[in-house]
Amino acid sequence: MSTLLPRRRLGVGGLEVSALGLGCMGMTGIYGPPTDRTEMIGLLHAAVERGVTFFDTAEAYDPFANEELLGEALCVVRDDIVIATKFGFDIAPATGERRGGVNSRPEHIRAVAEASLKRLRTDRIDLFYQHRVDPAVPIEDVAGTVRDLVAEGKVLHFGMSEAAVGTIRRAHAVLPVAAVQSEYSLWHREPENELLPALEELGIGFVPFSPLGAGFLTGQIGRDTTFAPGDFRNHVPRFAADAREANLALVALVSRIAADKAATPAQIALAWLLARKPWIVPIPGTTKIHRLEENLGAASVELTNADLREIDEALGHIALKGERLPAAALAMTGR
């Protein structure tokens, strides 16, 4: 197995992963029709060969095709990798029926864990995130249930996604949280206000999803770009045509720095995240091997303190337009 990528630790419990992980959500839809299964298995194998050890999935990703894909592709290297999956949406564990809303009742968490173990073809979940906070269930009960799963050896580490700092603190007091996952990139810097300082204080790792702004920071999306009918970006305010036109100023900045560094815009965006803190592990997603290789190349791009100051100063003059998620999805975050 390759060791080309440096390693990073998430939390204080010894969870070590590659500095860049692989977000697998798009492999079974969300950005349009699902891609060819055989090709995605090949992509997952290519990631392992290139040193990726951290793979992110969830029962909610095209229930339950994404977990099943990873289970089939990665079972042969199971002891060499870390798989993160999630619970928390109200999905029938047996059928995949979306019943709407969230569900973190203890009995549901247990049912999801058992079903995920089978789909992933494994005897343990390395990192089990609460996908979204359930306001109807005390977070202490959620953490306590995961603590029991840890004691049984079915889960190794506990994570949270899109949770408020106060909720994270309460959960962490019951069971140490290894990692928090939320959106963070040059396109969305809100976590810097409260979340990142709290995670540093508590010794919790951070896993940014959409580190490339759902593709926007690659420079491949313009004002007139059209998305496939099933692509979720059709419903995201920040991807409306007028917002994209305004936000292209950010792409121009990243592209200019990329040219100076003989890198690509995507590599600059990821290198910027890697330079923020040593306990940040981005999980860019892709369905193409050449994009995988491009993303992993970010680990070799060095941004100096002067570079980072220049970027921060320039960002202060760019007014981004549009919310990062539709209103209904935003309402489920930061609880």
CATH number at residue 67: 3.20.20.100
pLDDT at 217: 96
- The pLDDT, as a whole number, for residue 33 is 81
Contact of 238 with 183, CB cutoff 8 Å? no
Average per-residue pLDDT in the chain? 96
1-5, 271-275, 324-328: which has the minimum mean pLDDT? 1-5
Query: Does residue 243 lie in a domain region?
Result: no
pLDDT of residue 1: 41
Q: Is residue 261 part of a domain?
A: no
| Residue range 99-117, pLDDT digits in tens | 989 999 999 999 999 999 9
Coil vs helix vs strand at 124: coil
Tens digits of residue pLDDT in 22-80: 999 999 988 878 789 999 999 999 999 999 999 999 999 999 999 999 999 999 999 99
Task: Express each pLDDT in 174-209 by its tens digit.
Answer: 999 999 999 999 999 999 999 999 999 999 999 999
Provide the domain limits for residue 131: 7-213+277-301
Has residue 326 been placed in a domain?
A: no
| Spatial CA neighbour of 233 closest among 247, 208, 216, 220 | 216
Beta-bridge partners for 7: 18
Q: 239: which 2 tokens?
A: 């991807």
Number of domains in the chain: 1
Of 301, 300, 296, 268, the closest CA to residue 284 belongs to 296
Distance CA 231, CA 326 (A): 13
Q: What percent of the chain has pLDDT over 70?
A: 99
**Is 219 part of any domain?**
no
Per the rule left: phi > 0, alpha: psi between -120 and 50, beta: everything else, 255 is alpha
Residue 270 lies in a domain: no
In a domain, 118, yes or no: yes
Q: Tell me, what's the pLDDT at 212?
A: 97
Q: How confident is the model at residue 297 (pLDDT cuts 50, 70, 90)?
A: very high
The answer to whether residue 4 scores a pLDDT higher than 90 is no
> Which of 138, 158, 160 has its CA nearest to residue 148?
158
Look at residue 82 and tell me whether its pLDDT is greater than 90: yes
Please state the rounded mean pLDDT for residues 291-313: 96
* pLDDT tier at 93, thresholds 50, 70, 90: confident
* pLDDT in the model for residue 30: 80
Q: Which amino acid is at 301?
A: V
Q: Which of 47, 61, 51, 3 is nearest to 286 (CA)?
A: 47
pLDDT of 2: 45
3 state SS of 239: helix
Q: Does residue 235 belong to any structural domain of this protein? A: no
pLDDT of residue 61: 96
- Compute how many other C-beta atoms are within 10 angstroms of the C-beta atom of residue 215: 22
Over pLDDT 90: what percentage of the chain? 93
Q: Please indicate whether residue 61 is annotated as part of the active site.
A: yes
Instruction: Please enumerate, as own/partner, the contacts of 243-251 that have beta carbons within 8 Å and a separation of 24 or more.
Output: 243/321, 243/322, 244/216, 246/319, 246/320, 246/321, 247/187, 247/216, 247/320, 247/321, 247/322, 248/222, 248/223, 249/318, 250/186, 250/187, 250/217, 250/315, 250/318, 250/320, 251/216, 251/217, 251/219
Residues 6+ apart with CB under 8 A from 87: 59, 104, 108, 109, 112, 113, 116, 128, 129, 130, 131
β-sheet bridge partners, residue 207 = 181
- Which of these is catalytic: 31, 61, 129, 184? 61
Q: Does residue 268 fall inside a structural domain?
A: no
Question: What is the per-residue pLDDT for 91?
Answer: 96
Strand partners, 158: 128, 177
**What's the mean pLDDT in 229-240?**
92
